[in-house]
Structure 1
Amino acid sequence: MFLLNRHPDHRQPLTPEDAATLGSAGAEEAERFLAARDNHAETPLHALPALAGELGVGTLHVKDEGKRLGLGSFKALGGAYAVMHLVLEEAGRRLGRAVDVAELHRPDVKAVAAGMTFACATDGNHGR
């Protein structure tokens, strides 16, 4: 099924705030944060040539999210990204200086994080 996007905002320029978050700079920042994890790796792509042929497209690939960051399934990483930002902000306040994501594994930053508590909720599969 193909539906045209009829929302009035479709194809409108992004606000500067949205462009900072959704543009290439925002994507690069998110990648830098997620790459700070010890078990970070690119998500593998698998070619599906038979299905591509059946659908009449040149190539078709599917992302294998099953092993991504040891999660066992596709999970949105927005929560992890937000928690990392909160830890860095709190560490910056307590240490009196800006703290970069590259410092997450430093003992002083880890000590700040150890004193913080976070909770997440979802209305998805496991949250019902």
Structure 2
Amino acid sequence: MLAFVEAKLAYEIDVVAAAEAQADGTALIIDTRRRSSWDQGHVAGALHLPNDDFDDRIAGLPSGRTLVVYGWGPGCNGATHTAQRLLLKGFDVREMIGGYEYWVRNGFAVERADGVRKAAPDHLVTHV
């Protein structure tokens, strides 16, 4: 059981750590959701890599940075499927637990067609 927990901690990253890794340049955040979801809003600065475009866009991914993948939220496993494909190609990958839902709930920057915005953090998920 301990090995499972240690592996999970090595593979997953929470939204706070993902935001820090994006800010310091050590990670590239990747949105795995379909186009209609991306258009509703996505992590500011994220790269869009839906499953149906995976093979066409993988060549442009950086090999020297951690790729942090996310989906809608805890009930979505699209990021897990993309992570598996990226790991098989040799990339360093982490799955962002909580996905887009918890990114927004923590008050981090979200990009839409009309610009970048931050919502007020949800006091139920933040420590501020």
What's the TM-score bracket when you normalise by the shorter of the two chains?
A: under 0.3
- TM-score scaled by structure 1? 0.26
Structure ranking higher in strand proportion: 2
Structure ranking higher in helix proportion: 1
Task: Between the two structures, name the one with larger relative contact order (CA 8 Å, sep ≥ 6).
Answer: 2
Higher Rg: 1
